Amino acid sequence: MENLYLIVGLGNPGAEYARTRHNAGFIVVDRLAERWQAGWTYEKKFAALLARAQAGERRALLCKPQAYMNASGEPVRDVVDFFRVALPRFLAVVDDADLPLGHLRLRPGGSSGGHHGLESIEQQLGTREFARLRVGIGRQDGVREITGHVLGRFGSTERALADKIFLAASEQAQTWLEAGIQKAMSQFNGVLSDSPNEGKEQ
Q: How far is CA 151 from the centre of its chain?
A: 16
Given 22, 103, 116, 149, which residue is catalytic? 22
pLDDT at residue 143 tops 80? no
Look at residue 96 and give its three-state secondary structure.
Answer: strand
Higher-scoring residue by pLDDT: 3, 129: 129
CB 94 within 8 A of CB 10: yes
**Of 72, 85, 98, whose CA–CA distance to 131 is shortest?**
85
| The pLDDT value given to residue 199 | 42
The structure's pTM equals: 0.88
CB 81 within 8 A of CB 25: no
| pLDDT, average across residues 97-111 | 90
Catalytic (active site) residue 103: no
pLDDT at residue 196 tops 90? no
